[in-house]
């Protein structure tokens, strides 16, 4: 039996491509589920926990690609359950809330997995590689592609899943669940409602599919 491995090439991500692709809530759940069941060794357990944290920051908190990259440990406040985005677009900072489930994923990574990736307490980067350095966005995108292939969903595998697609997805899901556009705009850190209104068109278009 011949097994053909999928190509895991990573295209350069542009946060403002003009074309918006989103995932369904069910597809997001599949990505989370793909972080489980591969616990043959300690290294994979650490990576799986970090993968869940990546999904949580980019989907659960809707951060931009570079916002997640610049995130530091000190930016996570578990008492108030907020992420302090210090280096947002145009250097605009904001506070992003997260729920109890997301708090669980972030704490599992931060307190259980991350300490085993580096013993240098001077490194404040939230996402770090197995070499103990700040994890770059290309590596995060590769992890996302790996999770995508693990789902064994041919429709999901055919999508161009990028870090920014997770941000588009949470915005669309919040709007579908009835959150006011103004709150979504603040959540995403948009400068105006015009940037957020594109998601209303996505929902309207879906009604005719």
84 included as an active-site residue: no
Catalytic residue among 81, 84, 87, 89: 89
Asked if 88 and 189 touch (Cβ cutoff 8 Å), the reply is yes
Weakest mean pLDDT among 3-7, 34-38, 53-57, 132-136? 3-7
Per-residue pLDDT of 148-179, as tens digits, reads 999 989 999 999 999 999 999 999 999 999 99
164 included as an active-site residue: yes
114 included as an active-site residue: no
Tokens at residue 53, please? 């944290």
Kindly report the pTM of this predicted structure: 0.86
Q: How far apart are CA 109 and CA 105, in angstroms?
A: 6
Tokens at residue 139, please? 């590596």
Order the strands of the 76-77 sheet from edge to edge: 76-77, 82-85, 94-97
167 included as an active-site residue: yes
Q: How far apart are CA 104 and CA 84, in angstroms?
A: 17
Per-residue pLDDT of 83-124, as tens digits, reads 999 978 878 899 999 999 999 999 999 999 999 998 888 999
For the chain, domain boundaries: 26-159
69 included as an active-site residue: no
133 included as an active-site residue: no
Catalytic residue among 58, 59, 105, 199: 199
Q: How far apart are CA 202 and CA 43, in angstroms?
A: 40
Q: What CATH homologous superfamily does 26-159 map to?
A: Intergrase catalytic core (1.10.443.10)
Question: Among 89, 56, 63, which residue's Cα sits nearest to residue 168?
Answer: 63
pLDDT band at 199 (very low <50, low <70, confident <90, very high): confident
Catalytic residue among 64, 143, 150, 173: 64
């Amino acid at each position: 039996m011949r097994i053909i491995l999928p190509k895991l090439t990573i295209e350069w991500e542009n946060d403002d491509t003009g074309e918006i692709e989103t995932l369904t809530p069910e597809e997001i759940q599949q990505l989370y589920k793909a972080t489980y069941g591969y616990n043959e060794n300690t290294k994979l357990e650490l990576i799986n926990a970090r993968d869940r944290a990546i999904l949580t920051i980019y989907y659960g908190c809707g951060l931009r690609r570079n916002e997640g990259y610049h995130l530091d440990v000190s930016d996570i406040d578990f008492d108030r359950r907020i992420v302090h985005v210090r280096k947002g677009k145009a250097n605009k900072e904001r506070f992003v809330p997260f729920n109890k489930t997301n708090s669980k994923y972030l704490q599992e990574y931060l307190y259980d997995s991350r300490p085993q990736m580096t013993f240098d307490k001077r490194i404040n980067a939230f996402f770090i590689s197995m070499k103990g350095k700040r994890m770059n966005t290309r590596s995060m995108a590769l992890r996302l592609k790996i999770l995508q292939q693990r789902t064994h969903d041919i429709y999901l595998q055919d999508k161009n899943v990028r870090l920014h697609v997770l941000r588009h997805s949470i915005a669309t899901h919040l709007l579908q669940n009835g959150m006011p556009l103004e709150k979504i705009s603040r959540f995403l850190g948009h400068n105006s409602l015009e940037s957020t209104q594109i998601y209303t068109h996505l929902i309207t278009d879906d009604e005719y599919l």
